[in-house]
Amino acid sequence: MKFEQLNLIDPLLQAIYKKGYLNPTPIQEKAIPSILMGKDLFGVAQTGTGKTAAFALPILQMLTTERDRTQRRVVRALILAPTRELASQISQEFLTYGRNLNLRMLTVYGGVSQKPQTQALSKGVDILVATPGRLLDLIQQRFISLSNIEYFVLDEADRMLDMGFIPDIKKIISKLPARKQTMMFSATSTKEIMKLTESLLEHPVRVNLAPIASPPSLVSQKVYHVGQADKKLLLAHLLQDDKVLQALVFTRTKRGADKVVKDLCRQGIKADAIHGDKSQNAREKAMKAFKNHSIRVLVATDVASRGIDVSKLSHVINFEIPEEAETYVHRIGRTGRAEQLGTALSFCASNEKGYLHNIHKLIKHNIDVVHGHPFSTHHQN
């Protein structure tokens, strides 16, 4: 299928082609027509499936075709995201696709001065992308009214639950008009998520993408059996290879992430970490340095990594094997995107073999073992 078969208006098609996209991803193909028909939607999809465009394109189109030029601008579309990084990323996509349209958008989040945000609001805004805390602050101070919202998107709902945002979200929902079109996206459909969809959505179209159990087909996967103490040596050894253009390295804990960065910097390898204890500015700085290649290695914990979207990422390295097998698939899905080949390397210490076994069960095959590397433990299975 081609984008022009989705009944999108010309200015949107121009912006899509300018990005170099010709064919919609499965979620775009399924979601865009339903949203354009005015239906509520529940999408189960991972980051990296093109889900932002799946709601951004139809919302931009509907706002453009229905806009009354004589009226002052009011917020008509609200997109809620769990973190500042994700909010910024969503805004970026709206700006990219909406570049040929006369719509104004604004991102609001905490951790920065609210003055530029309130100044922009006073000039009138059509689309608002927000994190829950700052949005509630601005509503309470009467800078924002949600009474004209026609389109409401709750993105990464499962992560909102994890981060304890549900009470805030319920407060926000209570301020929205009864008549609106709602879209909700989540990487999982747990009991709590299903409860939330029932309270929020009316007769939704459900778009459920390929189950998490299938890793991207373009990712080559390998596992190294290595002693815990030798992992840092193995990492430095692998990073000597020029083929590792950029590596996203995963650890299970924040302390672990900081330690890996310290060890790499000692070896003269430029690296930084992102995790929940880092200030928003520090995380953004690290992301920016990684994206513009001034650092080669970004070390992340799982929660912090959701929302990292680096095109053409060559390597994902599991410094520690995750406890949940699904998390492994999430992690390695950061590479091998958009028809690019990717490599996922995992370091397995003897106490992690059980986790590796669960991954093999989930993905229904065994990951190839690399034998004969300098830090190999001999009793491999």
One-character DSSP codes across 209-261: -S-TTS--TTEEEEEEEB-GGGHHHHHHHHTTSTT---EEEE-SSHHHHHHHH
pLDDT of residue 68: 65
Mean pLDDT of 248-270: 93
Three-class DSSP category at 24:
coil
Longest dimension (CA), the chain: 75
Q: Is the pLDDT of residue 381 over 50?
A: no
215 compared with 98, residue with greater pLDDT: 98
Of all residues in the chain, the percent with pLDDT exceeding 70 is 92
**Domains of the chain by residue range:** 3-208, 219-369
Which pLDDT band, with edges at 50, 70 and 90, does 210 fall under? low
If you classify domain 3-208 with CATH, what class do you get?
alpha beta
d(C-alpha 117, C-alpha 265), whole Å: 37
What is the structure's pLDDT at 278? 79
Cβ within 8 Å of residue 93, ≥6 positions away: 52, 53, 56
**Predicted model pTM:** 0.63
Name the residue with tokens 């690290």: 286
One fold for 3-208 and 219-369: yes
Please check the confidence at residue 293 and state whether its pLDDT lies above 60. Answer: yes
* pLDDT attached to residue 188: 76
Say whether pLDDT at 332 is over 50: yes
Tens digit of pLDDT for each residue in 33-52?
A: 999 999 999 998 876 678 89
Q: Is the pLDDT of residue 304 over 90?
A: no
> What is the rounded CA–CA span in Å between residue 371 and residue 11?
54
Query: SS3 of 292, please?
Result: coil
Listed in sequence order, the residues at least 6 apart from 225 whose beta carbon sits closer than 8 Å to its beta carbon are 348, 350, 369, 376, 377, 380
Q: Is the pLDDT of residue 371 over 80?
A: yes
Length of the chain: 381
The pLDDT of residue 202 is above 50 = yes
CATH architecture type of domain 219-369: 3-Layer(aba) Sandwich (3.40)
CA dihedral 198, 202, 205, 208 (to 10 degrees): -20
> Which of residues 13 and 2 earns the better pLDDT score?
13
Q: Is the pLDDT of residue 211 over 70?
A: no
Q: Residue 302: is its pLDDT beyond 50?
A: yes
Please give the average per-residue pLDDT across 215-223, as a whole number.
Answer: 82
3-class DSSP assignment, residue 346: strand
Give the percent of the chain with pLDDT over 90: 59
Supply the pLDDT for residue 163: 79
Return the pLDDT at 333. 81
pLDDT of residue 191: 80
Q: How does the average pLDDT of the chain come out, rounded? A: 88
For 341-355, the pLDDT digits (tens) are 889 999 999 999 999
